[in-house]
A and B are shown apart, each in its own frame.
Chain A
Amino acid sequence: MTTPTFGDPLSAPFWEAARRHELFLQKCSNCGVARVIPRPFCVSCNADTVGWVRASGLATIYSMTTVHRSMSPSFAAPYINAIVDLDEGARLLTNIVDGAGCRIGDRVRLIWHARDPAPPLPMFTPITGKH
């Protein structure tokens, strides 16, 4: 493995996949637990059988908050922070893009937020009738 240019040695595959617009999760083939934050072994069942799987990018909004006072030059208020439940079972903090009128429980799909030179960031947007 080369020295990662972003992230830490364990999360390097996550960010390499992100550059290809693929959302990777660490999954334990013994107990089935999926995680966003990778561990050196499965801290749920103690097995070494952790590997990377590609997530479908489909998720459900678990909670969300519209931010009205931006503290960051990167974000113009209002914008939406959310926690989504990925269909594969892991939970991710993210932003909902074009999410006006969105509610907890709504279905959302993965999009990628460019931020060169850092790898793109996984974000989500509402699933419209076409998807």
Chain B
Amino acid sequence: MGQGRSLEKSVYVTGVAESPLGKVADHSELSMMAVAAREALAESGLTLSDVDGLFVRYRSTEPFIEHSVELGEYLGLQPRYADTTDIGGCSFEAYIHHAMLAVAAGRCDVALIAYASRQRSQRSRTMLDAPDDYTITGQFEAPYGMLSPIGQYALMAARHMHVYGTKPEQFAEVAVAARRWAQLNPKAWEKDPLTIDEVLRSEPISEPLRRLDCCLLTDGGGAAVITTKERARNAAKLPIRILGAGESHTQWHVAEMRDLTAGPGAVSACEAFGMAGIRPDDVDFLEPYDNFTSAVIVHLEDLGFCKKGEGGAFVEGGTLGPDGALPSMTSGGGLSYCHPGMLGLLLLVEAVRQLRGEAGPRQVKGARIGVVHGIGGKAFGSAATAVLARE
């Protein structure tokens, strides 16, 4: 394996933590990130005073907020390197990429990644775009009453069904696999048993997607620390190596997407797998961005776990569930565990816990290589992938 040998230094995820999750009444977004940051730093054998790089986005009600500056102030930090890139839910996989490079290049030594949202408690999430009619969205997308982003994903799912014969039952397989994992995770939001039939009978929202094809809408957040093994020499937990990372940004508006059955994950995964020197066969488990069941099927194809068009058949029979051939969404994912608007950081938290062997009843046996794959944008417009390994 390449083991990320193009970097001058090996870089590790040395600490991870969830913020309070679900419905959070006793915290603000800033305090949620603070408690998660302290916990992730403690795992790394570090404290806030060690942090000199900040990679952060969160849901703020203040317009024009400078995320790294406000969170830095709140935590008493003065980072010398920061990134608040917004590529939606996969911003945090992009931060793994950017922080890995910044630490390897010595632009910062201890990078803190953070996210928090109280979208459920604040009732701040809307599915209607309401931009003014000067914007491209306001002229060419919003007037059509599309539910955003469900409508964009529904258009992709419908096209996948048309071209490849993918079936709603196969989308439902993804929801059922996520739920089976969630039943093993005490922190999961939804733990009731779920059948394919129940998914197919749930309320249609934007065909072919039904309510149970769609992710949860919860509060939540977390933190992660990325640094060198040397800086984490007092770490309380096993550091997890970042073997590779990559990203791709393609389009914002769904009508500008060249092929509705393929996402930017093909490029981001190619970059990440290439840097890591691995192939899909080497991956012990996958943490895919499961905002919609149909999206997971496209991820599996984009990342090369099966051929384009065969994702539906690939997931049949519990492939992604506990004891399946490719354990995926092992926390229960955005579909059943937690989806606080942006899921990307929680995918990393779960992957690190799996690789350390501390996932309890949902532990993937012998997990040595895990992949976190995020997507963002309203319409599959961005993707970022990271390959992580237990040494």
Contacts and interface: CB of A to CB of B under 8 A. Distances in A.
Interface of A: 6-8, 11, 15, 36-37, 62-72, 74-75, 79, 81-83, 91-95, 103-105, 115, 118, 121
B139 A11 contact: yes
Contacts of A15: 139
Contacts of B256: 37, 91
Interface stretch (B85-93, B127-135, B179-187): B127-135
Contacts of A115: 143
Contacts of B204: 66, 68
A43 B381 CA distance: 18
A82 B154 CA distance: 10
Interface string B138-161: 011101111100010011101100
Nearest to A75: B145
Contact of B144 (A6, A11, A69, A95): A95
18 contacts: A7-B139, A8-B139, A37-B140, A62-B159, A67-B205, A69-B147, A69-B206, A70-B145, A71-B147, A75-B145, A81-B144, A81-B145, A81-B206, A83-B260, A92-B255, A93-B140, A94-B144, A118-B133
B140 to A, nearest CB: 6
A69 B145 contact: no
Contacts of A118: 133
Q: Which of B144, B147, B159, B208 is packed against the most chain A CB atoms within 10 Å?
A: B144
B153 to A, nearest CB: 9
B105 interface: no
Nearest to A115: B143
B206 A65 contact: yes
A64 B151 CA distance: 9
B145 A74 contact: yes
A6 B128 contact: no
Interface of B: 126-128, 133-136, 139-141, 143-147, 151, 154-156, 158-159, 162, 203-209, 253-256, 260
Given A7-B133, A11-B139, A64 B254 contact: no
Contact of A36 (B127, B134, B208, B255): B255
A93 B146 contact: yes
Nearest to A118: B133
Contacts, number: 101
A63 B155 contact: yes
B139 A63 contact: no
Decide if the interface of chain B is mainly helix, strand, loop or mixed: mixed
Contacts of A6: 133, 139
Given A6-B133, A36-B255, A94-B144, 4 more contacts: A36-B140, A65-B206, A92-B255, A104-B162
B261 to A, nearest CB: 9
A68 B207 contact: yes
A63 B380 CA distance: 15
B146 A104 contact: no
B151 A67 contact: yes
Nearest to A79: B145
B151 A65 contact: yes
Nearest to A90: B255
Given A6-B133, A37-B136, A72-B128, A93 B253 contact: yes
A115 B139 CA distance: 13
B158 A63 contact: yes
A72 B145 contact: yes
A32 to B, nearest CB: 17
B91 to A, nearest CB: 25
Contact of B260 (A62, A66, A92): A62
B151 A63 contact: no
Nearest to A92: B255
Contacts of A104: 158-159, 162
Contacts of A93: 140-141, 144, 146, 253-255
B206 A71 contact: no
Nearest to B210: A68
Contacts of B133: 6-7, 118
B148 to A, nearest CB: 9
A26 to B, nearest CB: 13
B124 to A, nearest CB: 15
B141 to A, nearest CB: 6
A104 B260 CA distance: 13
Nearest to B155: A63
Contacts of B162: 63, 103-105
Contacts of B135: 8
Contacts of B134: 7-8
Contacts of A74: 143, 145
A68 B203 contact: yes
A66 B144 contact: no
Nearest to A95: B144
